[in-house]
Amino acid sequence: MTESPELTAGAEPEDAAVRAHTSSSRANLELLFVGLGALVVSLTQSMLVPVLGELQEEYGASANWLLTSTLLAGAVAVPILGRLGDMFGKRLMLLVALGALTVGSLIDALSDDLGWLIVGRAIQGASGAAIPLGISLLATLMPRERVASSVALISAMLGVGGSLGLPLAGLVAEHADWHALFWINTVVGAIAFVGILLVVPESRQREGGRVDLVGAVLLSAGLVCLILPLEQAHEWGWGSGRVWLLLAASVVVFAVFAWFELRTRDALVDLKALTRRPILMTNLASICFGFALFASFIGTSTFVEAGKWTGYGFESSLLVGGLAMLPSGLAMLVFAPLAARLIVLRGAPQTLALGAAIVAAGWLLRIVLTGELWQIFVGATVVGIGTGIGYAAMPSLINAYTPPHEIAAANGLNTLFRSLGSTLATAVGTSILASSLVYEVADGQVVDAAASLTAYRWLFAVCAGAAALAAVLVLTVPRPRAHA
């Protein structure tokens, strides 16, 4: 009799020869280097946000491509490297991802030319696959009693690094040249690469097979057509023909991609598994979480850095604006292992729903509490607590309903959905904030403009709604009978 997906997906095959090597101290080293790699990759995605204004003064509006190129390259690389990890080795592809981070960071650290900076940032984008690959690798290497906490910690790094990247960039912006950010990434990325190369063994869960080149090309084209207009809509305008032409093209390309994948062996994406209810609901919830987390970046640091003339801002420095996110990042670190215990006690669906509810509560606090700087810190921290719990639970759900030989690809797609949520947050959040402006006027002349408090409150309300929707979606998923 064929077993149900819940049983087969949740039951990880024995890999005793690999797990037997792992003493407690060795497991700590493996977690340290994989976690360090995940942290520096996550830092890469947010560290330029505080210094983007300085880069725009130096390079003009084209400096925005330093963010867009990383996002596009990451969206393409994450699902492809995840699939290759299942086929040829998770550790091997993790080293490829961290190698891309180190090389791309070194190019940017040594360059002042915008073209080379964009190339370096695009290469760095491929490193986004390090987090799902790290999750999948540790799930096969860690002692069984440490799998849940290790996976939760690496998953939470996606939010932790983003929160820590803002104060780090603010500190560098005030005391050093922005090139220092790339030197930090180069050094830390190299340390993680060498550590994994020397300490972390390869997983024995490899299936081989043929690389689906056509599927990779179609998926890449569809993602570029989807993400590029969302990322550039605030510059091109939602009325631009380019935006809607690219979005329409993405629909057509994804339709062709789905048709092809359902008819090919060794498909890049197992679409039947992707549409299984538990996986579908988890990925939809991931989009909502990604939206809420990235909106906290644009809705916290810019909020406290706004001038007092706006009626809400605190005229804080870049450093203080970044520090407003620091408690949020630390809360993710603290609550990720606690979430692992909740997963065992209550199940991943309820744990993820709890995280989503806390995120919604944090955004509701942000709507009400705006008068004091400490209130902003509290609201952002509550959002961080919920995000840490939610991000820790996501891979547990994905792993529980995914066959072990597809686990890296499944986690890669889940990370991609989180990234799509962040991209959507950029498009929606920027539009909301630009829809209602207040102006500083001196001697009859407008000298500054900023989003109104009403616009920020609308953004916070949308984030709360997205988090509440995530909770509703994931509560429709039954508790798995076995956890990976």
**What are the tens digits of pLDDT across the range 130-179?**
989 998 899 888 888 888 888 888 887 877 777 777 778 777 777 778 88
Sign, Cα dihedral of 156, 345, 278, 268:
positive
Altogether, the residues listed in the chain come to a count of 484
Are 160 and 332 a contacting pair, CB within 8 Å?
yes
- Which of 180-184, 381-385, 437-441 comes out lowest in average pLDDT? 437-441
Residue 410 DSSP label: H
Amino acid residing at 414? N
| Apex 411 CA angle, 410 and 412, nearest 5 | 90
**What confidence score (pLDDT) does residue 99 get?**
95
Task: Count, in order, helices (H) and strands (E) of the chain.
Answer: 20, 2
Q: How would residue 21 be classed by pLDDT, with cut points 50, 70 and 90?
A: low
Label residue 11 exposed, middle or buried (CB < 10 Å: 0-12, 13-18, 19+).
Answer: middle
CA atoms of 82 and 431, how far apart (whole Å): 33
Label residue 8 exposed, middle or buried (CB < 10 Å: 0-12, 13-18, 19+).
Answer: middle
CA atoms of 326 and 341, how far apart (whole Å): 24
- Which of 182-186, 241-245, 260-264, 294-298 comes out lowest in average pLDDT? 294-298
Are 307 and 450 a contacting pair, CB within 8 Å?
yes
**What are the tens digits of pLDDT across the range 421-478?**
888 887 888 888 888 888 877 777 777 788 889 999 999 999 999 999 999 999 888 7
Closest to 70 measured CA to CA, from 38, 101, 35? 101
**What are the tens digits of pLDDT across the range 206-265?**
776 788 889 889 989 998 999 888 888 777 888 888 989 999 999 999 999 999 988 888
**What are the tens digits of pLDDT across the range 301-320?**
888 888 888 888 888 887 78
Closest to 422 measured CA to CA, from 306, 326, 296? 296
Per-chain mean pLDDT for the chain: 84
Task: Please say if the pLDDT value at position 45 is more than 90.
Answer: no
Q: Given phi > 0 = left and psi -120 to 50 = alpha, else beta, which region is 360? A: alpha
Sign, Cα dihedral of 173, 179, 185, 187:
negative
**What confidence score (pLDDT) does residue 15 get?**
53
Q: How would residue 117 be classed by pLDDT, with cut points 50, 70 and 90?
A: very high
| CA 364 distance to own-chain centroid | 23
Tally of CB atoms within 10 A around 346: 14
Label residue 247 exposed, middle or buried (CB < 10 Å: 0-12, 13-18, 19+).
Answer: middle
CA atoms of 282 and 478, how far apart (whole Å): 11
Are 360 and 467 a contacting pair, CB within 8 Å?
yes
Label residue 83 exposed, middle or buried (CB < 10 Å: 0-12, 13-18, 19+).
Answer: buried
H/E run at residue 289? helix 277-305
Label residue 141 exposed, middle or buried (CB < 10 Å: 0-12, 13-18, 19+).
Answer: buried
Alpha carbon distance, N-terminus to C-terminus of the chain: 22
